[in-house]
Structure 1
Amino acid sequence: MAVVLMIGLVAAASVSLFVVGAATIDQSQNNAQETQVENTFREFNKDVSSVAFGRQKYRSMNFDVQDQTAAFRQEDTGTIRVEVGDNTTKTVSIGALVYENNGETIAYQAGGVWRNTGKESRMVSRPPVEYQNGSLTFPIPALDGDEQVRPGELNINKRGTNSSSSNNSFVKGELVTLHITSEYYMGWAEYFRTQTNDVAVSVDHSPPGDKGTVKVKLGQPVANGDFQKGVMATGGEDGDICVKNKESPDSIAASGEVYDCKNGNDVDGEENAESDLYELDTAIERKVKNASEVVDDDSDDSISEHDIVDDGDITTAGTYFDSNGFKLSSEREIDVSDGNVTLIIDGNMSIDGGSLDVIGTNTENVVRIYTTGNYSQNNGEVGAGSAKHLQIYGTSEMLAVWQNSATFTGTIYAPRNEPALERWDGGGEANPVAPTGSSNCNGWDMCISTGSTEFKGAIVGGPTAMQQGTTVTYDNELAGVKPTLELEDGVLPPPITFLKVAVHEIDVNNSGSNSLAAPTGLGASSSVVSPQSASATTFDAESPSVARAEAAPARRTTVLDR
């Protein structure tokens, strides 16, 4: 009995060793095969790049993959959309060369090699996208070719190049956005994070199926104007200036019309002025977000939280954050004698009978206020002896009203592409900043309203009304003063000055194939299959709508090789 038991144990152990050994051999073979496939795809990437970007328009290679059960396909597996400002310059459907085995894929797509396990996508070989010193170069190899391309010798042919933007397009001050929809979107996202920063890259996991979308934003807002006019009204053709004063104010210009809206008299002022000024919304929103994060971080004291009403005067240089805005009915001072003061406000600024004085102005130091809200002043005094010492920056939605005996010395800089309030013949949308029951400011984004208000400095804002009895004077000390956004690294996406995007149409065909004619449209459906493959899957190339995605991704991303 003992002998039989011993023989049984030996037999069982032998079987176990055989199974484990066989599994180890299979795993080693799989690992070796995957390494071979990755190396083959790297070589394919090099050959396509040589044809797409070099002088050589044709190459052949041995696509050395011997696994006859694997499927290959080349089809509309994603899209790349390039936007400059509000305009889409190009939408490109991109194909791919894909190897499948045991639920995992290795794919060549748009110049990069990617691996997808179903739970994660990662980069094997980087795409030819380069961002350097404010210039983005994005050459896109777009694959087409035979409907079935088998492993073995492949012919790689270049059909031509289509530029999505003119060479070295000047895009300074514009927001450039790339939308990349792909199964390998997390790999794309990780790569762009290494090229730009975390602020520039966001991911949308929501499109149906296995695809997702990477959104890459480049470009920083630029305060590209000046303070050379007493009033500069922006807002396109509706950026008008209405004057009810007996005398025309100093130095005014409008992107629309300038007129006397009381008596119909002639008003000196430049009409239909081309402003080309950039809105500051993104910059101010980012500054507020960054300030909020800094004040919540006990280890970072670069920005101090300060409520001008409750916390009193600002006596030292630095950056301060007010998270709620304020309504000031008492006297407050901001001292710039030892340096510049920056105040970031998430909310409205209201001076209601109080005063906000800038002192220590025997230097060139200034107060710069960035606010997400509106400005209103009922009586009281704001500013310093010279307008250059107080600069207030607002968004394209900022409304501002001065009324009664308000005195203001400083600048307002809040350009816009269109008015914030609607206006029509005989009236307009109520201005919520104006006094209740007053219609003087209806339809006017900027309104120097009733009473003996005195404004000295410069306004760069929306449609502006200057009511009877008010005084608007340009401060000559603003000559040469330029607005600034004081942008910090990492708060906004990296800047971009030049953009170069081109699509290189590449055919991949079986050796000896005569199928070199262009198929129906760039990115038309085709496949690369093994001799035993019977069909290819077709993907929907429609670019899904892009939404903000803050949720944690379901896929991890690991960069293998840069």
Structure 2
Amino acid sequence: MVVVASAGIAVFAGTVLTETRSTAETNTAEAAMLAFEHRVESVAHSEAGATTVRLPAAGATGVYTLTTGTITVETPSETLLEEDLTAVVYEHPRATFVYEGGGLWKVTEAGTVVLSTPEFSYRDDTLSLPVIAFDGDSDLSSGTLTVAKEQPLASASGTVFVDGTPTTVTVESPYYTVWAEHFRSFAGSAVVVDAPAQTVSMTFVPGAQTTPRLDNAAVATGGADGDIYVGTGSSVVDGSVVASGAVTVQGAGAITGTTTEHHDDGLSSLDWVVAATVDRATTMAEPGTFQSRSVTVCDPGCGPVSGQAVTGTAGVLSFDPTAHATTVLASGTYLVDGSGDLSLTGETLVVDLSAGNVTLVVPGDVVLDGGDVTVVGAGGDGVLRVYAAGNFAMRNSEFLVTDGDARHAQVFGPSTMQVGFAGGSTKFEGVIYAPRATPALAPGEANAAQLTGASQCVGWDVCVATGSSSVTGAIVAGPIAVKQSTTVTYDASLVGMQLDVIPVDLFDSRVSYVRVHVDVVDLRQY
């Protein structure tokens, strides 16, 4: 019994000693890699320098460099950086240490741990992206290594002012999860992970993106073909108009304000804003639930309207606008579900601004054909912002702010948006903002948003025609036609107003400057 017990104790003691030795070697390796990181970064950020660093041989099973992935920094029109990520790998039986792109990871069977984060930083409106790349020997061994500074990659270094476009940083790496963890520390909801592709990206929007002053009832863009036509009936534009092309008034048509033609302010389209908004909302959306709720609508009459309110805890709630006769949206961000069209044919969507802004993201068309949008609770600063990727069409419908004015309802669209108002009872109150460099429609091409199929709207991106349709507020879009007995009336509440076109509730990270710097370090066996 004593002999057996002694043998057991001896075996146990040997196991403990082995475990202790292995743990000590792993801890030593971790300390050595932290020292390695410090030496490498000191050399990389110097004008010119060299040093040595030692990686202990005890327990080590390999030391080498390899390309692990890529890092890309781009705007919609330009690639600012596209560089391979090179890593130094220091292998031990219990852990593998990876120094990649300025970050140090410890990889074990339990997962990957961040020992030191990359130097990427976001402060005020500047995104700084220093990247360390390796040159020299790819097959190394433990022991002493030399670290020497090479010239930075001039083609991939510098500071860029990002003017009105988003900036996306994408990292492809087997260690994408730790990059995502780091990105979220300063980019929040702007981080998107694609696990199958082993990529993580973060998107920053410009520090500021506002419209020019909305001082005109109608602004037609589209270059030399950005025309405005008022005629074929007693149509009236009550306010000033500006056209990048020609302005024509015929018959009993009238423009009460000033007329400016062949004037192009070079307004930027919102193509990327709308596309990025739809993409972000779709990524973040979670289903909303309905609960009974009443709001007070004071025009016409003052009585409570009982509706089904969309509620939930997510940052973006998806809902079906046709699920109930009346749907109520309170402050928050909402995504139209199903087909992606906001299509109301008898239903009513009530937007209550009393508790704050409402952002409505529409991946498809807005079609109000006998259905209405009613904005209430607009006595304060609340705003309804609609981002629609398709067309905007109304027939015998109302889109009204019942207790406020046009500044509380803003519709943003891409350069391809077609707009049509038809029917004897159609009323719209708000701003439609969808400028463009060239018209969406060619001469002779039908306007898909004109639900009556009126031939008089052929070739016009925006057509206010048929019956006595009325628009109160402002329109900034492509070529505009105002015909029959329709009216476009400028709302004085818009004087001097500039709209912030970026939905801040979806894009909480903004950047005006991107600073990229790639330092190359020569790494060799001593």
- Whether TM exceeds 0.5 here: the answer is yes
Question: Secondary structure of 1:344's match?
Answer: strand
In structure 2, C-alpha distance between the alignment counterparts of 1:24 and 1:320, rounded to whole Å: 58
Amino acid at match of 1:200: A
Question: Secondary structure of 1:75's match?
Answer: strand
Partner of 1:45: 37
Per the alignment, do residues 24 and 340 of structure 1 end up closer, same or farther by CA in structure 2, a change over 3 Å counting? Answer: closer
In structure 2, C-alpha distance between the alignment counterparts of 1:127 and 1:509, rounded to whole Å: 23
Amino acid at match of 1:393: V
Partner of 1:175: 166
Query: Is 105-114 or 267-276 further displaced after alignment?
Result: 267-276
In structure 2, C-alpha distance between the alignment counterparts of 1:253 and 1:427, rounded to whole Å: 23
In structure 2, C-alpha distance between the alignment counterparts of 1:63 and 1:227, rounded to whole Å: 65
In structure 1, C-alpha distance between the alignment counterparts of 2:128 and 2:377, rounded to whole Å: 48
Partner of 2:105: 114
Amino acid at match of 2:127: L
Structure 1: runs of 5+ lacking an equivalent? 1-5, 512-562
1:102 aligns with 2:118: no
Partner of 2:421: 402
Does structure 1 conserve the Cα–Cα contact (< 8 Å) formed by 2:420 and 2:449? yes
Aligned counterpart for 1:88 among listed residues 74, 79, 83: 79
Structure 1, residues 262-285: CA drift from partner, whole Å, max 9, x if none? 99xxx8424443113544423366
Does structure 2 conserve the Cα–Cα contact (< 8 Å) formed by 1:233 and 1:253? yes
Within-5 A mapping of 1:206-221: 206-207=196-197, 212-219=198-205
Per the alignment, do residues 148 and 381 of structure 1 end up closer, same or farther by CA in structure 2, a change over 3 Å counting? Answer: closer
Aligned counterpart for 1:243 among listed residues 229, 239, 244: 229
Question: Secondary structure of 2:27's match?
Answer: helix
In structure 2, C-alpha distance between the alignment counterparts of 1:331 and 1:151, rounded to whole Å: 72
In structure 2, C-alpha distance between the alignment counterparts of 1:322 and 1:216, rounded to whole Å: 21
Partner of 2:293: none
Partner of 1:546: none
Within-5 A mapping of 1:147-186: 147-162=138-153, 167-171=158-162, 173-186=164-177
Within-5 A mapping of 1:226-265: 226-234=213-221, 237=223, 240-243=226-229, 245=231, 250-253=239-242, 257-258=245-246
Partner of 1:283: 277
Provide the TM-score with structure 1 as the length reference: 0.71
Q: CA deviation at 1:500?
A: 0.8
1:78 aligns with 2:97: no
In structure 2, C-alpha distance between the alignment counterparts of 1:359 and 1:107, rounded to whole Å: 57
Amino acid at match of 2:25: Q
In structure 2, C-alpha distance between the alignment counterparts of 1:113 and 1:61, rounded to whole Å: 19
Amino acid at match of 2:267: S
In structure 1, C-alpha distance between the alignment counterparts of 2:76 and 2:314, rounded to whole Å: 35
Does structure 2 conserve the Cα–Cα contact (< 8 Å) formed by 1:253 and 1:273? no
Partner of 1:415: 434
1:500 aligns with 2:500: no
Structure 1, residues 446-497: CA drift from partner, whole Å, max 9, x if none? 22233444433211234544446544343344112222468455x3352223
Question: Secondary structure of 1:30's match?
Answer: helix
Fraction of identical pairs, as percent: 24
Per the alignment, do residues 204 and 348 of structure 1 end up closer, same or farther by CA in structure 2, a change over 3 Å counting? Answer: closer
In structure 1, C-alpha distance between the alignment counterparts of 2:201 and 2:118, rounded to whole Å: 16
Structure 1, residues 93-133: CA drift from partner, whole Å, max 9, x if none? 23221112338421211111112337733312121111223
In structure 2, C-alpha distance between the alignment counterparts of 1:241 and 1:221, rounded to whole Å: 32
Does structure 1 conserve the Cα–Cα contact (< 8 Å) formed by 2:206 and 2:512? no
Does structure 2 conserve the Cα–Cα contact (< 8 Å) formed by 1:390 and 1:409? no
Within-5 A mapping of 1:69-468: 70-102=61-93, 104-117=95-108, 120-162=111-153, 167-171=158-162, 173-197=164-188, 199-207=189-197, 212-219=198-205, 223-225=209-211, 226-234=213-221, 237=223, 240-243=226-229, 245=231, 250-253=239-242, 257-258=245-246, 268-279=260-271, 280-281=273-274, 282-283=276-277, 286=280, 295=289, 300=313, 318=331, 323=336, 325=342, 327=344, 342=358, 344=360, 346=362, 349-352=366-369, 368-372=384-388, 374-379=391-396, 382-383=399-400, 388-396=406-414, 398-406=417-425, 408=427, 410-415=429-434, 421=440, 423-424=441-442, 426-428=443-445, 430-435=446-451, 437-442=453-458, 444-467=460-483
In structure 1, C-alpha distance between the alignment counterparts of 2:267 and 2:115, rounded to whole Å: 47
Amino acid at match of 1:89: L
Query: Is 141-150 or 324-333 further displaced after alignment?
Result: 324-333
Aligned counterpart for 1:20 among listed residues 2, 12, 18: 12
Partner of 2:494: 478
In structure 2, C-alpha distance between the alignment counterparts of 1:231 and 1:191, rounded to whole Å: 47
Query: Is 76-85 or 287-296 further displaced after alignment?
Result: 287-296
Structure 1, residues 189-220: CA drift from partner, whole Å, max 9, x if none? 212222321x222222334xxxx222122226
Per the alignment, do residues 479 and 166 of structure 1 end up closer, same or farther by CA in structure 2, a change over 3 Å counting? Answer: farther
Amino acid at match of 1:47: R
Greater strand percent: which structure? Answer: 2
**Aligned residues between the structures:** 485
Q: CA deviation at 1:150?
A: 4.0
Structure 1, residues 337-360: CA drift from partner, whole Å, max 9, x if none? x67664736575544467767678
Cα root mean square deviation, aligned: 4.3
Amino acid at match of 1:32: A
Does structure 2 conserve the Cα–Cα contact (< 8 Å) formed by 1:383 and 1:389? no
Per the alignment, do residues 28 and 391 of structure 1 end up closer, same or farther by CA in structure 2, a change over 3 Å counting? Answer: same
Q: Which has the higher contact order (CA 8 A, sep 6+)?
A: 1
Q: CA deviation at 1:147?
A: 4.6
In structure 1, C-alpha distance between the alignment counterparts of 2:119 and 2:151, rounded to whole Å: 18
Amino acid at match of 2:196: S
Does structure 2 conserve the Cα–Cα contact (< 8 Å) formed by 1:217 and 1:493? no
In structure 2, C-alpha distance between the alignment counterparts of 1:278 and 1:240, rounded to whole Å: 17
Amino acid at match of 2:21: Q
Per the alignment, do residues 101 and 276 of structure 1 end up closer, same or farther by CA in structure 2, a change over 3 Å counting? Answer: same
Per the alignment, do residues 376 and 129 of structure 1 end up closer, same or farther by CA in structure 2, a change over 3 Å counting? Answer: same
